[in-house]
């Protein structure tokens, strides 16, 4: 199979739930013409309480401290993943605003590749950590972040009204593994 292509297996107890999807993707910087695709992806990935409104997403993407990547699928223009990061030089950390992977493209390493990028971004910026706000009812997200070395700080502010709603997960850059080449 060519480099960059993976497919999910159809064996085992999850055979009914897993589709075989060959994946050839490109991770690249966000471009203004990606806004509609990123908005649709946000809608497909998040519960209503956590979704961006279109105007809110537009305003976020226009801020000077925001960096974003998209994962473009095999068909040019299909956005199957995205990462929005706010750099905070004062706090010396990269704050993930949104990390999303199209449900059909999960468990293929795409989220890890996006997190590897943001850790490298923080490292190149001379910052100390990467932080990710996560809703308390997102067990899959907690397992994913824990497997990447993040720890739950137990702190809610400024992202959630209370720790019962969600907390901030943190990975010190010095503790982060170097991504595979």
Q: Which tens digits make up the pLDDT trace of 139-174?
A: 888 999 999 999 999 887 666 666 677 888 999 998
DSSP state of 52: P
How far apart CA 113 and CA 71 sit, in angstroms, is 10
Joined tokens for residue 128: 């100390």
CB 162 within 8 A of CB 156: yes
**38-53: pLDDT as tens digits:** 999 999 988 887 888 8
Q: pTM score, two decimals?
A: 0.80
Nearest to 106 by CA among 18, 177, 178: 18
Place of tokens 């279109």: 54
Chain centroid to Cα 167, Å, comes to 16
What are residue 49's phi and psi, to 5 degrees?
-65, -20
| Domain range 27-175, its CATH number among 3.40.630.30, 3.30.210.10, 3.40.50.300, 3.10.129.10 | 3.40.630.30
DSSP SS3 for 143: helix
Is 32 a residue whose pLDDT tops 90?
yes
Joined tokens for residue 68: 């974003």
More confidently predicted of 110 and 18: 110
More confidently predicted of 6 and 154: 154
How far apart CA 172 and CA 94 sit, in angstroms, is 10
DSSP state of 61: H
How far apart CA 101 and CA 113 sit, in angstroms, is 11
Angle (nearest 5°) at CA 100 between 159 and 126: 65
How far apart CA 127 and CA 46 sit, in angstroms, is 28
Break the chain into its structural domains and give their ranges. 27-175
């Amino acid at each position: 199979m060519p480099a960059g292509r993976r497919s999910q297996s159809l064996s085992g107890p999850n055979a009914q739930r897993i589709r075989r999807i060959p994946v050839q993707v490109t991770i690249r910087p966000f471009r203004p013409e990606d806004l509609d695709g990123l908005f649709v992806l946000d809608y497909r990935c998040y519960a209503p309480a956590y979704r961006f409104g279109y105007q809110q997403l537009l305003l976020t993407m226009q801020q000077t401290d925001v960096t974003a990547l998209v994962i473009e699928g095999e068909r040019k223009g299909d956005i199957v993943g995205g990462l929005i990061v706010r750099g905070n030089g004062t706090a010396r950390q990269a704050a993930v605003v949104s990390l999303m992977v199209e449900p059909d493209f999960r468990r293929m390493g795409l989220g890890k590749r996006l997190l590897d990028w943001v850790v490298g971004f923080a490292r190149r910026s001379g910052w100390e950590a990467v932080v990710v706000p996560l809703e308390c009812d997102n067990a899959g997200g907690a397992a994913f972040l824990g497997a990447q070395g993040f720890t739950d700080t137990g702190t809610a502010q400024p992202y959630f009204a209370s720790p019962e709603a969600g907390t901030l997960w943190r990975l010190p850059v010095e503790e982060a593994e170097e991504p595979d080449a």
